[in-house]
């Protein structure tokens, strides 16, 4: 998995999603854009890809589309409409666009070509270095008491939410 951290300006969300899908199809990768405020770090996204691929391999996926399945795990939610809250919206958004080769690893050339195509969508920024703890805790339902009871990082707690989807099935 590769991640492109950028500031996107989206005029029409449906057209934007179609363009992302086209880049993915052109390069044989899966592309998903998420609002950077809801990303706890690169491990968070890597874990979402890993769990989504495992669910698909087992025939336990909720979504037909791999990009949507990845979004479900990244959001820690089973309902697609609730997971879409984590996606980008119309207007200007700091985003992380993840590029996942089939099976989650492998063809770095295809991922690099996809990133090159996607760079025209927005200027690069340091989105993963700007963690918004309050937004993450609210979105993922992480309480102050939970944080006080563990020495786990916020990213580890967010990754746990994705892993809990497996248990909730």
What SS3 class is residue 4? strand
What average pLDDT does range 38-55 have in this prediction? 95
- Give me the residues paired with residue 33 across strands: 97
Query: pLDDT digits over 96-119, tens only?
Result: 999 998 754 557 788 888 888 888
Question: Model's pTM, two decimal places?
Answer: 0.91
Average pLDDT in the chain: 90
What CATH number should be reported for the domain holding residue 67?
Answer: 3.30.2380.10
> Cβ contacts of residue 164 below 8 Å, gap of 6+?
76
What average pLDDT does range 50-57 have in this prediction? 94
Q: Round to whole Å and give the CA distance between 64 and 47.
A: 19
User: Cβ-count burial of 56 within 10 angstroms (0-12 exposed, 13-18 middle, 19+ buried)?
Assistant: middle
Q: Round to whole Å and give the CA distance between 26 and 15.
A: 16
pLDDT at site 96: 95
pLDDT at site 120: 80
Q: Which two tokens stand for residue 43?
A: 């491990």
Q: Round to whole Å and give the CA distance between 75 and 82.
A: 8
Report the domain count for the chain: 1
CA dist 21 → 24, 49, 65, 162 (Å): 5, 16, 10, 24
What average pLDDT does range 116-123 have in this prediction? 82
Query: pLDDT digits over 75-91, tens only?
Result: 999 899 999 999 999 99
pLDDT at site 45: 96
Q: Which residue segment(s) compose the domain that 83 sits in?
A: 2-168
């Amino acid at each position: 998995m590769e991640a492109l951290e950028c500031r996107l300006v989206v005029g029409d969300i449906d057209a934007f999603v179609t363009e992302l899908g086209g880049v993915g199809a052109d390069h044989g990768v899966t592309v998903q854009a998420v609002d950077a405020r809801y990303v706890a770090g690169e491990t968070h996204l890597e874990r979402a890809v890993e769990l989504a691929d495992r669910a698909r391999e087992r025939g336990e996926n909720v979504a037909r589309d791999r990009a949507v399945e990845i979004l479900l795990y990244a959001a820690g939610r089973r309902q697609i409409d609730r997971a879409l809250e984590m996606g980008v919206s119309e207007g200007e958004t700091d985003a992380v666009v993840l590029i996942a080769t089939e099976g989650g690893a492998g063809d770095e050339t295809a991922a690099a070509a996809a990133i090159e195509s996607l760079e025209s969508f927005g200027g690069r920024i340091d989105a993963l270095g700007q963690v918004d703890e309050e937004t993450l805790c609210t979105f993922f339902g992480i309480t102050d008491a939970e944080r006080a009871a563990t020495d786990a990082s916020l990213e580890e707690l967010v990754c746990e939410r994705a892993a809990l989807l497996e248990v909730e099935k």
